[in-house]
Amino acid sequence: MLYQEAGQFSTRYADDRRLFRLRQDRLGLALLLAFAFGAVPFLGNDYWFSAILIPFLVLSLAGLGLNLLTGYAGQLSLGSAAFMAVGAFAAYNFELRVAGLPLLASFLLGGVVAALVALLFGLPSLRIKGFYLIVSTLAAQFFVQWALTKFSWFSNDNPSGVITAPKLEILGADFGSPAGRYLLTLGVVAALFWLGHNLVRSELGRNWMAVRDMDTAAAVIGIPLLKTKLLAFALSGFFLGIAGALWAFTYLGTVEPHGFDLNRSFQVLFIVIIGGLGSILGNFLGAAFIVLFPLLLSNLAGLLPAGLIDAGQLENLQKIVFGALIIAFLIKEPEGLARLWRRLRERARLWPLRY
């Protein structure tokens, strides 16, 4: 009964359109945001900010970016990390070469450049369908990594292609401390999730799902396929690009093209699979899992007598368990953690009764 929805009727279409229809959900979100913005910066320590919360937030955003393309629009991509890299290096160059450019503007521009690159590699999607499309996203993956390493202009002539974050300052306020970087990341991620949530519930979001579920029928009812698919690529690239810029600026501080390799793309894909394809919440759940799981595993290994499992074996073990989990999820819960969460909520609706 805790989660009672009876008595909450939508009397206007606008009520149905709200971000969250139920009072409990709205209240929960408000509390969560208040806690994340107001309390966490004081409660958390540097380790939590730098090693857990910031990567969690950035990876959630990256998950959202890929989810728009794969979960909603149904276009499989193995090139997420490439678009993250483009966002990171573009934001770095804007910040470097345009004097006085505000930090947030460089994030935005980084996202826009990543969107344009994603658009370019999405162009074949009208003619190429299904698996054949992964060739285009893999081309993006390898080409971008090669170009960023090969042409040192992108990294301001750093010999190994490494870029370093500028001073994190907005309107004179310094966000350089771990808590500051956390707040900055949280603000950007929260704003983009609001945008992403609106997108998938708008006409465009419906068109994406229509193309995903059956593109011939979508064309027949007048959905412009090329525009719909290209917007999926571009917006996915935009979100991934900003995630990449955050990854470089607020999480790592310095980053090289190699940090955005194919394994990073897989990581983002796993977030989406584990969290739930076509779910907004799932991105957070998947990212939390990806960040926390290796920590949990190494802590568990730490409990064993010293020397029983070395770092190399731990990594192998992690790969095995990860692979097994992916398969287990696809078999048992193809809709991911988000589905498990929904079930839990159903329970809460009835609690303490069983039916």
Partner 1 sequence: MSHPPSSPLLELQNISLSFKGVKAITDLSFAVAPGEICALIGPNGAGKSSLLNIINGVYRPQSGLIRFDRVEQRSMRPHAAAELGIARTFQNIALFKGMSVLDNVLTGRNLKRRSSWIEQALRVGRAAGEDDRQRAAAERVIEFLRIQPWRDAIVGRLPYGLQKRVELARALAAEPRLLLLDEPMAGMNAEEKAEMSRFIVEVNREYGTTVVLIEHDIGVVMGISDHVVVLDYGRKIGDGPPGEVRRDPEVIAAYLGTRH
Partner 2 sequence: MEFFFEVLIGGLLAGVMYSLVAIGFVLIYKASGVFNFAQGAMVLFAALTFVSLLERGVPFWLAFLITLTTMVALALLIERAVLRPLVNLSPITLFMATLGLSYMIEGFAQALWGAQVHGLELGISDEPLEVGGMLLSQFDLFAAGTAAALVALLALLFNKTRIGLSLRAVADDPLAALAVGIRLQRIWAVVWAVAGFVGLVAGLLWGARLGVQFSLSLVVLKALPVLIIGGFTSIGGAIAGGLIVGAAEKLAEVYLGPFVGGGIENWFPYVLAMLFLLVRPAGLFGERAIERV
Where does this chain bind partner 1 (CB under 8 A)? 12-14, 16-17, 195, 198-199, 202-204, 206-207, 209-210, 212-214, 216-225, 231, 278
Instruction: Annotate 176-190 with DSSP letters as a single string.
Output: -SHHHHHHHHHHHHH
* Contact map string, positions 196 to 235, toward partner 2, x by CB under 8 A: --------------------xx--x---------------
- Neighbouring-strand partners of residue 174: 169
CA dist 301 and 353 (Å) reads 40
CA dist 301 and 88 (Å) reads 34
Phi, psi dihedrals of residue 254, rounded to the nearest 5°: -130, 145
Q: Is 325 in the site for partner 2 (CB under 8 A)?
A: yes
Q: Where in 123-142 is the site for partner 2 (CB under 8 A)?
A: 124, 127-132, 134-136, 138-139, 142
* Contact map string, positions 278 to 317, toward partner 2, x by CB under 8 A: ----------------------------------xx-xxx
Q: Rounded to the nearest 5 degrees, what angle is found at the Cα of 269, between the Cα atoms of 324 and 154? A: 135
| Count of residues touching partner 2 (by CB under 8 A) | 43
The DSSP call for residue 333 is -
Q: Which is nearer to partner 1, 130 or 159 (CB)?
A: 130
Reading the block at residue 324, the tokens are 């097994």
**Distance set, CA 115 to CA 22, 80, 112, 141 (Å):** 34, 12, 5, 14
**Distance set, CA 167 to CA 110, 160, 173, 222 (Å):** 16, 21, 11, 48
Judge whether 165 and 253 are in contact, CB under 8 Å.
Answer: yes
The DSSP call for residue 277 is T
* Contact map string, positions 11 to 40, toward partner 2, x by CB under 8 A: ------------------------------
- Neighbouring-strand partners of residue 170: 173
CB 19 to partner 1: min, Å: 10
* Contact map string, positions 238 to 277, toward partner 2, x by CB under 8 A: ------------------------x---x--x---x----
CB 111 to partner 2: min, Å: 23
List residues binding partner 2 (CB under 8 A). 76, 124, 127-132, 134-136, 138-139, 142-143, 145-146, 150-151, 216-217, 220, 262, 266, 269, 273, 312-313, 315-320, 322-327, 330-331, 334
